[in-house]
Structure 1
Amino acid sequence: MINSRELGWNVLTGIGFSFVITIVMAILAGIVKLFYPPTDISISPIISIFQSPALGIIQIIMLAGIIAFVTPVRSKVIREELGGIRRLGIYVGVGYLIFSILPYAFHVPYPQTYIGLIIAFNVINGFVGGYASTILS
């Protein structure tokens, strides 16, 4: 039986964590653009690998660091209490690689559509990550 309160908190936390990852990736892309102007600003590590490999590798390393930041748990007591957060961080981080391709799937001249697709993939990623961490616990 699914605990609806836990599911709601996991989904909400997953959406927030996905937005945090997106903001970090955008800032990172802006910093790389500042030092190496020919790069395109991209929030998707998979797309960045093909457009500008240096940015893609830096984004994947940063994403791995963000996931690693969520996972280290030293003691057994803390590991039991924060196991759900660890799973949520891993699912949302891995889902970010897949769902961040969504804004690049549609080519339209309007920036509002691009921003809407960024919001949509963050909500979808947070929902899927939160649901998976609740179901697979």
Structure 2
Amino acid sequence: MDDVTVSFDDQNRIRVLDVDKFAHTEELGSAANDFVKKNQEFGGLMDGIVEVLDANAKRIEQAKLRAIGMRNRVITERENRDQKRRALQALVAEREADLARVEAQVKSLRQVEAEQQNIIDKLAVGEAYGRVPVEGTEEGF
């Protein structure tokens, strides 16, 4: 206890520390308060940055989900188009087969029509001359 020095400051207040140490202690306290304020400001800034990053992360996640959904729709659309194309190709092949069958039938019917018209013409010529062609003769069939 011999080290304790009691003194009076300029305003006649009792001081246990000498004036220099007291001033240094007050400066240190002020610096500590400034540090605490700056640390709190920094914490507030960090909270703001974290909020911004969280918001950006949510937007990015939503964009990723939209992109995945769009990619899936594109894949599905491609598959649907391929399936529709194959169905249309099968329909075209079926219609082409129908067309070939109908064309063959028309050709056959035209031949039959021509033969029948030929017979009608022969019969008409024979009636005009008063003769009816008989099979196995010159004028016959």
TM-score class normalised by the smaller sequence: under 0.3
Q: Taking structure 1 as the reference length, what is the TM-score of the superposition?
A: 0.24
The structure number with the bigger radius of gyration is: 2
